[in-house]
Amino acid sequence: MLQYPHFAEIDKFLQNETETYDGQLDIYPPPNLIFNAFNFFEPNELSVVLLGQDPYINPGEAMGLAFSVPANKKVPPSLVNIYKELSTDIGSADVSGRTGDLSHWAQQGVLLLNTALTVRQKKSNSHQDIWKPMCDWIIKWISDNIPNVVYILWGNNAKDKKKLIDLNNNNYIVESAHPSPLSATKFFGSRPFSKTNEILVKKLGKKPIVW
């Protein structure tokens, strides 16, 4: 899934970023977690692709999983809103006391993929341009080669990827506004979790995700 033919260009870019700032520039997540989203399951176990945008820009937060932070970090505002919607959408989902670590979603075949896999500290969208071709390639590769997948698209950046998804390959799209505090009023009530599980069970014959 990750045999992207032009990765050397990205690698060179990241090296130059560090060299330009004499090694003082922090890039998130750390190198060993850049591709963490792909570490939890085999391609044939994929059920859901949930697209994010940038890794978190604060120290110690980005862990290579979209919307997720390590358990010892404060839950970010967008994820707070995701948990609120989850609690409303699936009434039995107890989100009280949850950490921001979404590894348990990834372990069930949910690809938590950002559309940029690295970012400069404190500079949102700073690496979007270099990662866009590869992330688009990954999404299209998955769509073309792995059928029966639900794509959850929150916000305009994610919705822009609809053109890469082949619905004729028995793939489905669940979309809404972004859970950011700036658009959360339109996100609330969109019921993405129950919609996704309904598709997985009734249309794809798969197990529901335990959100």
Catalytic-labelled residue, pool 11, 22, 54, 94: 54
The conformation of residue 54, written as its DSSP 8-state character, comes to S
Rg (CA), the chain: 17
**Among this protein's residues, is 11 annotated catalytic?**
no
Q: Can you tell me the distance from the alpha carbon of 27 to that of 31, in angstroms, rounded to the nearest whole number?
A: 9
What distances in angstroms separate CA 154 from CA 43, 78, 159, one per listed residue? Answer: 23, 11, 7
What distances in angstroms separate CA 50 from CA 79, 90, 112, one per listed residue? Answer: 13, 18, 5
> To 10 degrees, the CA torsion angle through 18, 23, 25, 27?
60
User: Residue 50: phi, psi to the nearest 5?
Assistant: -110, 115
Active site residues: 54
